[in-house]
A and B are shown apart, each in its own frame.
Chain A
Amino acid sequence: MNFEEAQKWMHAAIVAEEAPGEADEVLKSTNGVCAHRRLGVYRDMYRVRMSESLQMDYGLLQSVVGEEEFESLCWRYLKDFPSTSYTLNDLGRNFADFLEIQADLPPYVGEIARLEYAIVRSFDAFDPTPADWVELSALPLETLCQKSLRPLPSFVGERFNYNLNSLYDAYVDETLSPGIVPQEQVCNLLFFRENFQVRRLSVEDLSWKLYQGLRESRDFGEALDPVLALAKTPDEQQKLLASFQEWVGRSLLYSA
């Protein structure tokens, strides 16, 4: 066995569900500790490290499904999506997608993972300099509409089919009841970074559409016009503009 084959073997032996039988053909048994036990140290540490890393970022999911189920979901996930990064920060990159296609899981499980990954993304994002509120508000509407304004990478939006806003509130307040199932109700959440903490905004459908428009449109006018057309009442229009003002005021947009 050359050194590459040895590494290939040890890697497979660490991640395998069952420890391989041939450890003593590759590793030394010395100092009163057999090769299987020595391999076991690395196997155990791998499991602890991966679990702890996912627990840290997916605390709500763990609270909702319970510790045992969470552990089992982590291992199912890691079998298909082992870490390929230099950092563990991004270990959950595919967690939500993976959970959403598991036939034996209720759909809110994947949604919860998506919410928690949005927080990770917001926390870690590299942001360009935000657009200046004073400068923007001095512009005539026509000029403003021609500006390409985009949400900062740390200003992350997700739309859910369950009321995860209330669920997350209960998690933060430590009032989650065991076995809780979130209520089926569309919920639009925007996450943003303020003083290096991730904060959450719950927004109505029109504001959500404007946020999406800002992500996808050529300029502010293209994002705003179709949404304004959907706003049936002056009150709705007012709310929409208030959302936009809040985002600019909190420095969540940048000029692309």
Chain B
Amino acid sequence: MLSVAEQCSNLGFGVGLRTVHYTDFMESCPEVDWLEALTENYLGTGGRPRQVLRQLSMRYPIVLHGVSLSIGGSSPIDRHYLKLLKVLADEVQARWISDHLCWTGYAHHNLHDLLPMPFTEASLAHVKNRVDEVQNYLGRAILLENPSSYASFVFDGISEAQFLREIVLSTGCGILLDVNNVYVSSVNHGLDAKVYIDTLPAEAVGQFHLAGHSQREGYLLDSHIGPVPEPVWDLFRYTLARVGSRASLLEWDEEIPSLEVLLEENEKAKTLAALPSPAIQIHPELHL
């Protein structure tokens, strides 16, 4: 099985491939280090999206990012989905494959949302088995992203970061660390974002996500709208110092701007990543 280290080279600063930018990419080949494609938009379709992705894969490194694996779900892993995913990954020579630490529905009904995991010993064992199953099938380690969450269960026994850490240590999977999601969930649940970052095994982080969010009444919504807010940049600085530089990607899915605006925002991330890291004091309670 291909490990995280073997797959996740630091590709630089990527852009999420969205339909509105297809023409820009196809016609003018803008300077972008790599592209992240939303897996489900390209599975089981023979239309334009698949054709565009195939062509772009000859010019840019492609990473596949999914939302429907439901690694934490109770229904059996969808083998048909995995089969299509493997074919697509081979076709576009995906550098790595990621999805989310979440469940998406029950009894084969898909709510198409990244629903919060119940964090118990039983669910941990369940997810570990499923990650093993998926990785064995794909022949490669996958990356799991921490989702933004708005609710947690009364019986949760461990934190999300500990849960993710345990999965990584047991299965050898990697982490797609979404810095905005860490910030959003920490605000929504009144937790310390830096403790979250410190809990994760840094060497397992294969990629970063950066994004914007929106203030709602009493909580933050992971809306992927607008530029990256200052507190997220602050947390990114902290993360870079703690984890080091990794392939990074800006997610912008609402009121998607021109490619130039996206690339300008990427420049900010580049500048931060190029700065020397300040010394970081790891949270004293953590024994890593």
Task: Decide if A94 is an interface residue (CB 8 Å cutoff).
Answer: no
Task: Decide if B137 is an interface residue (CB 8 Å cutoff).
Answer: no
Q: Digitize A81-92: 1 where CB-to-B-CB distance is under 8 Å, 0 elsewhere.
A: 011111111000
Task: List the B side residues contacting A123 at CB < 8 Å.
Answer: 45, 47-48
Decide: B219 and A3 in contact? CB cutoff 8 A.
no
Q: Digitize A122-149: 1 where CB-to-B-CB distance is under 8 Å, 0 elsewhere.
A: 0111110000000000000000000000
Q: Which residue of B lies closest to A154 (CB)?
A: B46
Decide: B152 and A45 in contact? CB cutoff 8 A.
no
Selected from A2, A3, A39, A86, the residue in CB contact (under 8 A) with B40 is: A86
Complex: A211 Cα to B40 Cα, angstroms:
32
CB-CB contacts below 8 Å: B136-157 with A = 150-156
CB-CB contacts below 8 Å: A32-91 with B = 32-33, 35, 37-39, 41-42, 45-46, 49-50, 53, 82-89
Selected from A10, A30, A82, the residue in CB contact (under 8 A) with B115 is: A10
Complex: A217 Cα to B151 Cα, angstroms:
56
Min CB–CB distance B104 → chain A (angstroms): 9
Min CB–CB distance A91 → chain B (angstroms): 9
Complex: A35 Cα to B153 Cα, angstroms:
9
Selected from A4, A25, A33, the residue in CB contact (under 8 A) with B154 is: A25
Complex: A217 Cα to B188 Cα, angstroms:
61
Complex: A216 Cα to B134 Cα, angstroms:
40
For A, the interface residue count at a CB cutoff of 8 angstroms equals: 48
Given contacts A28-B153, A33-B188, A33-B219, contact A89 B45 (CB under 8 A): yes
Task: List the A side residues contacting B153 at CB < 8 Å.
Answer: 6, 26-28
Selected from A25, A31, A193, the residue in CB contact (under 8 A) with B189 is: A31
Q: Digitize B66-80: 1 where CB-to-A-CB distance is under 8 Å, 0 elsewhere.
A: 001000011000100
Decide: A42 and B151 in contact? CB cutoff 8 A.
yes
Task: Decide if A118 is an interface residue (CB 8 Å cutoff).
Answer: no
Task: Decide if A172 is an interface residue (CB 8 Å cutoff).
Answer: no
Decide: A87 and B46 in contact? CB cutoff 8 A.
no
Q: Which of B28-36, B119-127, B203-211, B268-276 contacts A (4 or more CB under 8 A)?
A: B119-127
Complex: A73 Cα to B46 Cα, angstroms:
29
Q: Which residue of B lies closest to A50 (CB)?
A: B112
Decide: A3 and B44 in contact? CB cutoff 8 A.
no
Decide: A42 and B110 in contact? CB cutoff 8 A.
no
Complex: A53 Cα to B216 Cα, angstroms:
23
Decide: A7 and B115 in contact? CB cutoff 8 A.
yes
CB-CB contacts below 8 Å: B221-271 with A = 221
Q: Which of A2, A15, A38 has the most CB of B within 10 A?
A: A38
Complex: A42 Cα to B118 Cα, angstroms:
15
Task: List the A side residues contacting B117 at CB < 8 Å.
Answer: 3
Given contacts A15-B111, A26-B154, A45-B113, contact A126 B46 (CB under 8 A): yes
Q: Digitize B155-188: 1 where CB-to-A-CB distance is under 8 Å, 0 elsewhere.
A: 1100000000000000000000000000000001
How many A-B pairs have beta carbons closer than 8 Å: the answer is 125
Selected from B47, B110, B126, the residue in CB contact (under 8 A) with A84 is: B110
Task: List the A side residues contacting B111 at CB < 8 Å.
Answer: 11, 14-15, 46, 83
Q: Which residue of B lies closest to A90 (CB)?
A: B44
CB-CB contacts below 8 Å: B7-26 with A = none
Complex: A3 Cα to B158 Cα, angstroms:
13
Task: List the A side residues contacting B216 at CB < 8 Å.
Answer: 41
Task: List the A side residues contacting B126 at CB < 8 Å.
Answer: 3
Decide: A41 and B108 in contact? CB cutoff 8 A.
no
Given contacts A33-B188, A125-B47, contact A1 B113 (CB under 8 A): no
Min CB–CB distance A95 → chain B (angstroms): 16
Task: Decide if B109 is an interface residue (CB 8 Å cutoff).
Answer: yes
Complex: A103 Cα to B43 Cα, angstroms:
36
Selected from A3, A11, A126, A153, the residue in CB contact (under 8 A) with B109 is: A11
Task: Decide if B218 is an interface residue (CB 8 Å cutoff).
Answer: yes
Complex: A15 Cα to B111 Cα, angstroms:
8
Q: Which of B73, B81, B155, B156 has the most CB of A within 10 A?
A: B155
Decide: B151 and A7 in contact? CB cutoff 8 A.
no
Complex: A87 Cα to B42 Cα, angstroms:
10
Min CB–CB distance B142 → chain A (angstroms): 15
Task: Decide if A232 is an interface residue (CB 8 Å cutoff).
Answer: no
Can you list 16 pairs linking A and B with CB atoms under 8 Å apart? A8-B107, A11-B106, A26-B153, A32-B218, A39-B151, A41-B150, A41-B219, A42-B150, A46-B113, A50-B112, A83-B109, A84-B108, A84-B110, A86-B78, A127-B46, A193-B47
**Extra 11 A-B pairs, beta carbons < 8 Å, given A38-B151, A50-B112, A123-B48:** A3-B126, A6-B155, A7-B118, A14-B111, A30-B152, A33-B219, A83-B105, A86-B40, A86-B68, A154-B47, A196-B47
Interface residues of B (CB under 8 A from A): 40-41, 43-48, 51, 68, 73-74, 78, 81, 103, 105-113, 115, 117-118, 120, 122-123, 126, 150-156, 188-190, 216, 218-219, 221
